[in-house]
Amino acid sequence: MKFGKIKKTICILLAGTMVLGTSLTAFASEQTPADGTETYTNVSEMAKFTFKGYNNGTLPTPTTTLGLLEYTLKTFVMGDEYNGPIGIVKAVLNQNGKEKNVYIVALSGTELIWSDYTGLQSTGAVTDLLCGFNLDNPYIKAVVKAMKQNIPAGSDVVFYGHSLGGMIAQEAAADKTIKRMYNVTNTVTFGSPLIKLLSRREGLVRRMCDTSDIVPVLSVYSLTPLAVIQYWGSERFSEDGGYNSKWLAAHNESYLRQDVWGGYDVLGIKGGNATMTFDMGAAAYYEAPGISWLHLKK
């Protein structure tokens, strides 16, 4: 067996361990041309931006079990073509006729993927379990590090996240370091369970949940007396995309559809008027490694 394959095997076995590196690598988006500033008016457009964290934005997310297998086989070997699940960009939020500068932090979800820069990413099943039980994990550590290195202290921040990324976004809104350094104004999630209810999350939280998507109830709260809040809490907003029992299709497709979610503004408020203006091509992406690949690469 070649040494490179041995290194990958070691990293798979160690997935979910702590981030040990001293810095995170930023990658400019290569898939979205820097074609100028645009204004985004609804939450499905923000979901599309969030989904760009997957596989460098080059492959559509799978909607069937077979498609999921094929997708995983393609993404895992992307190597140096992978950007990272943490997208950060400066934007102008306009709400009720008032403008202010904010930083968008968009987080993609579960994906078994390998980076030639930092190894196996902490976006796999281990992190799903850790988040579902409100436990510490390397993904949230990578988010904190990326924000500290790239967002000025005192800035207003809006989090977006799909699936696992939405759970991490809720963890970030409750993180002591983030709350101390920034003003978290809003957190919008797509197909994500309730996380950190009792941890004093900062800002307004909105969870977009397709009625056929089962993922939004897959956290510890579905097993406790707080299940009512998990299923029907005031943060949860449901729309029917017509997927019936096709939960994976609902989970990975519904939130991108304006015909389903176009009635919600960019902050997840139904009938709201908030818009975001930014250059999608100016976003930088950061990885969320499970271990320090630098030590194995030497």
Instruction: Answer yes or no: is pLDDT of 30 > 80.
Output: no
Domain locations in the chain?
3-297
What lies within 8 Å, CB to CB, of 135 at 6+ separation is none
DSSP labels, 134-157: T---HHHHHHHHHHHHHS-TT-EE
Angle between helices 164-174 and 138-150 (to 10 degrees): 60
pLDDT of 53: 92
Is-contact 283 93, C-beta < 8 A?
no
Could you read off the pLDDT of 243-286 as tens digits, one per residue?
A: 998 999 999 999 999 999 999 999 999 999 999 999 988 999 99
pTM, two decimals, is 0.85
How far CA 208 is from CA of 22, 34, 172, 239, in Å, comes to 35, 29, 18, 8
pLDDT of 291: 55
Q: Which of 31-40, 105-114, 245-254, 279-288 has the lowest mean pLDDT?
A: 31-40
pLDDT of 226: 86
Amino acid, res. 115: S
Instruction: Answer yes or no: is pLDDT of 136 > 80.
Output: yes
Is-contact 266 285, C-beta < 8 A?
no
Could you read off the pLDDT of 206-239 as tens digits, one per residue?
A: 999 999 999 999 988 888 888 888 888 899 999 9
Is-contact 90 101, C-beta < 8 A?
yes
**Average predicted confidence (pLDDT) for the chain:** 85
Instruction: Answer yes or no: is pLDDT of 104 > 60.
Output: yes
Residue with more model confidence, 53 or 291: 53
pLDDT of 134: 82
- With bands split at pLDDT 50, 70 and 90, how would you rate the model's confidence at 35? low
